[in-house]
Amino acid sequence: MRKHFFLMFLAVAGNGALAQEFPSRPITFIVPFSPGGTTDPAARLVAQIVSESVKQPVIVENKAGGAGIPAAMFVKQAPPDGYTLMMGHVGTHAVNASLYSKLPYDPVKDFQPITLMNKSRLLLVVPADSPAKSVQELIALAKTKAGGVTFASQGIGTAGHLLG
């Protein structure tokens, strides 16, 4: 596993960086969401493994807010030298393109994917004392409530929000 992460980072080094040893300084790993969210722990684990492999610090920097757009713009505008990477996300690279008509970056043209890092599944849960014990029962319950039912998600534009 460690070898794959090292190779992943070498893949983004670029031709100019091949003349010198890569990496020769710390790498910044941008996470477009808050510390402690579902993306953050995965990024920190990868950063630790890569740091040990390349013998350079890998600094995880959270740039939360704006549906990940500011983080994506930061990475887009960084020098293409392999020292600034981003934990791309379905929100920043798929959902935003559908939700925003004037996205300031092109998720396909402005970024180069390196590897799939993790997958996650979403769960639909209700309180333990809820009368709904299945999706069909939840739909039926919602139809009996004048205002419907409420739900929570990770935020606007997230997979949980769109699925809800």
* Rounded Cα distance, 84 and 28, in Å: 5
Number of H helices, E strands in the chain: 8, 3
Q: Is the pTM of this model over 0.85?
A: no
Q: Where are the alpha helices (DSSP H) in 57-150?
A: 69-77, 90, 96-99, 135-144
Q: What are 61-119's pLDDT values in tens digits?
A: 999 989 899 999 999 999 999 999 999 988 899 889 988 999 999 999 999 998 888 77
What CATH number was assigned to the domain covering residues 2-99? Answer: 3.40.190.150
Sequence ranges of the domains in the chain: 2-99, 121-164
* Rounded Cα distance, 107 and 40, in Å: 20
Residue 115: per-residue pLDDT: 86
Q: Which two tokens stand for residue 76?
A: 């887009």
Q: What are 121-132's pLDDT values in tens digits?
A: 778 899 999 999
